[in-house]
Amino acid sequence: MSKLIRKVRRHIEKFALLSNGERVLVAVSGGPDSMALLHVLLALKEELELDLYIAHYDHRLRKESVKEALFVKDYAKKLGLPFILAAAPVKLYARREKISLEAAGRELRYRFFERVAEEYGLNKVALAHQADDLAEEVLLRFIRGAGRRGLAGIPVKRGGIFIRPLLLVSREEIDDFLQKEGIPYVEDPSNEDPRFLRNRVRHLLIPFLEKHFHKNVKECLKRTALLVAEEEEFLGCLALQKLEKHGRKEADAFHLSVRGLINVPLVLRRRMYLEALKAIGVPLFRVRLSHIEQIESLLTGKTRGNINLPGGFIARREPGRLVFKKVEAPLKPFREEITGTGEYLLPNNITLRVYYTRAGEAPKNALVLDAQKASFPLIVRSHLPGDRIRLLGLSGRKKLKKIFWEHKLTHDERRIWPIVEKDGEIIGLPGLAIAENYAPKDANQKALVIEFSFA
Ligand SMILES: Nc1ncnc2c1ncn2[C@@H]1O[C@H](COP(=O)(O)OP(=O)(O)OP(=O)(O)O)[C@@H](O)[C@H]1O
């Protein structure tokens, strides 16, 4: 067994990353780190009785991305491992949420991993961040002015499902392993692009620090990050205890008692804000120190009114309490053209996944259509008064209103449930109904699957 595999096995044990018999989704971009991770986990598969799955997310931001997805797909096939792929409307999402392409890609990618883990009943998602990533990330965040949470860098595990078995292994050790084992990988040219601050940290700042200040600067940064991470974890536990005492969660809202908060030291209070936001589903990736400071200024009375938080949440001061809550965006009717397979972002935070598979393998809650008959373009739209569908075995057409009622859909669900139309005729509603002639005849037939989820 190679040195690297033994080292990772020790880390898996030390940080309790995996238990025997777990079902693991390996996030493989096709780059050197994730290909090494895949091989390390393959080597430990038998001993740890792991069930491995491979997932790849095609961000569609570079023209080579399809090739990379195919590389990972073929590799999974060669290894005989299940492979799950999604393609992403990253640009659209970034524009809509007013965030960078990098941040949008990250958010959608992590959401995809979580969704796949849930759908396939997997307990862990293994990511291939390594020690050099950790050092670079810490420096980068320092430059950008992060708080303590940022300086803790990249955690070795998060949220009970994400694990990073290679986090304490250097890029050099990984390269050495790949070469000795003859493992192929694809290079991501954007890793060299000096327009990205992260790449300038990797290619300019770290070598400069190594040359002129400290040969082992990466090791030092790693050590600092691990120490801060331990302290962060401790602070997190304390904050949760305090939240139990002084806070109350209510569906999409969190209430914090002002009297409870002012008796807590500022450093802990900041962490309490963060834990409260996490509890109601605010995307923590996007919460900046400035948001936390704004919340603090609500408490001290320096700011009044609503403070906008990421993901459509607000914070405001009410008598005797701070309130964090989701502001409901009004539901919008929609009509979109579906021109091919992929992911589509519809209004009202609906994500649509359109793909081909064998009819027998399609999930039950999706619309599964005969691929030949349901050719593109299709229209996906929201409900209109008088909508009807021609169902098998019925002489006339059935009102959608009746179908909604039979499935006990709420008023809001009825307004935005996606309805699929071809040539002016309704051909189905995911999970609810399919028009006559559009259902595949047998399980082996090629089917077009339309699945959707509300964010
Ligand atoms: N397109 C992808 N498909 C599948 N997994 C990916 C993809 N991109 C990244 N990953 C996984 O995430 C790890 C980190 O990737 P990378 O360093 O590019 O991301 P990052 O943006 O720097 O970090 P983070 O994921 O924390 O935002 C990879 O080693 C791999 O395990």
Give CA–CA dist 39/81, Å, rounded: 12
Q: How far is the CA of 102 from the centre of ligand 1 (A)?
A: 11
- In this predicted complex, what is the ipTM? 0.95
| Mean pLDDT (the chain, rounded) | 92
The token pair at 415 is: 């307004």
Tell me which of 33-37, 133-137, 390-394, 445-449 is least confident. 390-394
| Mutational pocket test of ligand 1: of 33, 109, 116, 190, the residue with most ligand atoms within 8 Å of the beta carbon | 109
For the cut 90, the answer to whether the pLDDT of residue 395 exceeds it is no
> Cα–Cα distance between 29 and 16 in angstroms, integer?
25
Binding-site residues, ligand 1, Cβ < 6 A: 27-29, 33-34, 55-57, 59, 106, 109, 127-129, 133
DSSP 8-state assignment for residue 375: P
In degrees, rounded to 5, the angle at the alpha carbon of residue 323 between the alpha carbons of residues 319 and 324 is 165
Q: Which residues are bridge partners to 353 per DSSP?
A: 343, 451
243 C-alpha to ligand 1 centroid (Å): 33
What six digits make up the tokens of 34? 């994730």
CB atoms within 10 A of CB 169: 24
**Residues in the annotated binding site for ATP:** 29-34
Of the two residues 353 and 210, the one the predictor is more confident about is: 210
Q: What is the architecture of the domain spanning 335-454?
A: 3-Layer(bba) Sandwich (3.50)
Take atom 2 of ligand 1 and give the residue whose Cα is closest: 29
pLDDT in tens, 425-445: 999 999 999 999 899 999 899
Atom of ligand 1 nearest to the CA of 128: 29
Annotated binding site: 29-34
Fold of 3-129+164-213: Rossmann fold (3.40.50)
Best probe residue, ligand 1, of 66, 67, 129 (max atoms within 8 Å of C-beta): 129
Task: Give the start-to-end residue ranges of the domains of the chain.
Answer: 3-129+164-213, 223-326, 335-454
| Token pair for 41 | 């986990």
For 350, residues 6+ apart whose C-beta sits below 8 A from its C-beta are 416, 418, 452, 453, 454, 455
Residue having the nearest C-alpha atom to atom 21 of ligand 1 = 106
Q: Locate the ligand 1 atom nearest the alpha carbon of residue 188 and give its number.
A: 18
The closest residue, in CA terms, to atom 6 on ligand 1 is 29
Atom of ligand 1 nearest to the CA of 133: 17
Ligand 1 pocket test: pick from 8, 24, 25, 29 the residue with the most ligand atoms within 8 Å of its Cβ. 29
Ligand 1 centroid from CA 139, angstroms: 18
CATH 3.50.50.60 fits 223-326, yes or no: no
Per-residue pLDDT band for 147 (boundaries 50, 70, 90) equals: confident
- Spatial contact of 76 and 82, defined as CB atoms under 8 Å apart: yes
* 333 Cα to the center of ligand 1, angstroms: 35
Task: Dump pLDDT digits (tens) for 174-194.
Answer: 999 999 999 999 988 888 888
How far is 350 from 101, CA to CA, in rounded Å? 20
Low-confidence winner among 27-41, 86-100, 190-204 (lowest mean pLDDT): 86-100
Q: Which of 326, 302, 304 is nearest to 314 (CA)?
A: 326
Relative to the CA of 127, which ligand 1 atom is closest?
31
Cβ–Cβ < 8 Å for 58, 87: yes
